Structure 1
């Protein structure tokens, strides 16, 4: 197992997420107000305590999977992208901790908008990963593994620098929108767009770069 400072930081964040969930489970027996569309076609509103435990379980599973990835025959690949990989591990654990705290805020105040801190935290995650993504070198584990980036190291490097800049821009925009917008649906769309658009643009960019190099 690849144990680094990022491993310990992510583990502490997951533990903090679990501690918040346990405290909320004990102290807030009514749970979190949720609104969902039932199989009967009608919207339902109820309180659920199980939402407190869901996020820590997701955080533990995702973090453990990322930490154990090098053990599953991918150690060399992770070492070639160590900084962005570590930032991803820490960032995801931190994001899920923020979501857990936001759920507690929602339980304390039904008017609390969970999507605002989630959007801001996702923006920080994109900013952090994007800042380091350009340092990822060609590997078979972490990064934008398109047929074109895997076929040419130059395409890989240029694509990841392009994607990193896009993620930084997307993160800054998303953080700003997290402060400016109040509608939960609009924030949800903003998170999806700001997270997906830089990656989709980078995939297209990798194809374009590869074709240009082939012509040259």
Structure 2
């Protein structure tokens, strides 16, 4: 409950601050950066309002998912994990918006480094709580095999949680490696846990099915 109140306050303050800052923003604001952290895409100033609404939209999704999920009772079993992931994700979105405004006003920031560090922290936090997530249809590692078996879901999430935390830590180091090499290593740390989770859930389900069928 405290996290919800805190996020509502942060989102509200962000919207108010955006409206106050809107008149002093340039007609074009930066909205995209290349691999080197240089701005290579701009949008009209009104996009600032859209960006300010994105955290509210994300909060709305997190509020809605437990209510529409067929296994909504499962969410009560991992409320803490769910709220912590929601907190870090929305705060990250708010930080991105603040950085966008600062750059638009002429402040020089190492955007690429800040974003990489932010995503790395997201991975560490999500991985730390992923093992607590119970079977549901809207949050977590949702493959055909985890959704088909609670046992596969649990084992996949526990194993993947460790891998995602390790990947997040490695991503922090890779964030400081410049150029295409650094970006390649960084992206590898992102995609390896995703591919592993899918493959591992299939492997577990396959083993489970063979065991039920009496196949060794």
Question: What range is the shorter-chain TM-score in?
Answer: 0.7 to 0.9
Distance 1:152 1:10 in 2: 34
Cα offset, 1:71, TM superposition? 3.0
1:63 aligns with 2:59: yes
Q: Separation in 2 of the partners of 1:214 and 1:81?
A: 28
Structure 2: where are the runs of 5+ without partners? 34-39, 212-216
Q: Structure 2: how far apart are the matches of 1:137 and 1:126? A: 19
In structure 2, what is the equivalent of residue 209 of structure 1? 204
CA distance in 2, matches of 1:19, 1:168: 35
**Displacement of 1:35:** 6.8
Kept in 2: contact 1:81–1:137 (CA 8 A): yes
Residue of structure 1 equivalent to 2:145: 148
Q: Report whether the alignment pairs 1:13 with 2:10.
A: yes
Counterpart check, 1:162 vs 2:136: no
Q: How does 1:65-214 map to 2 (within 5 A)?
A: 65-72=61-68, 75-109=72-106, 111-178=108-175, 180-181=176-177, 193-214=188-209
Question: 8 Å contact 1:84–1:135 — kept in the other structure?
Answer: yes
Distance 1:175 1:35 in 2: 22
Pairwise CA distance, 1:131: 0.2
Per the normalisation by structure 2, the TM-score is 0.78
CA RMSD of aligned residues (A): 3.0
Q: 1:34 to 1:157 in 2, by over 3 A?
A: closer
Judge conservation of contact 1:30–1:49 (CA < 8 Å) in 2.
Answer: yes
In structure 1, runs of 5+ residues without a counterpart are 37-43
Contact 1:20–1:100 (CA under 8 A) maintained in structure 2: no
Q: Is this contact kept in 2: 1:115–1:187, CA < 8 A?
A: no
Deviation at 1:115, TM superposition (A): 2.4
Q: Distance in 2 between matches of 1:190 and 1:8?
A: 38
- In 1, the alpha carbon distance for the partners of 2:164 and 2:22 equals 36
> What's the CA shift for 1:188?
7.0
Contact 2:26 2:104 in 1 (8 A): no
Q: Distance in 1 between matches of 2:131 and 2:149?
A: 15
Normalising by structure 1, we get a TM-score of 0.78
Aligned residues of 1:137 and 1:157 also touching (Cα < 8 A)? yes
Q: Distance in 2 between matches of 1:53 and 1:95?
A: 17
Which of 34, 48, 53 is equivalent to 1:52?
A: 48
8 Å CA contact 2:30–2:41 kept in 1: the answer is yes
Q: CA deviation at 1:67?
A: 1.1
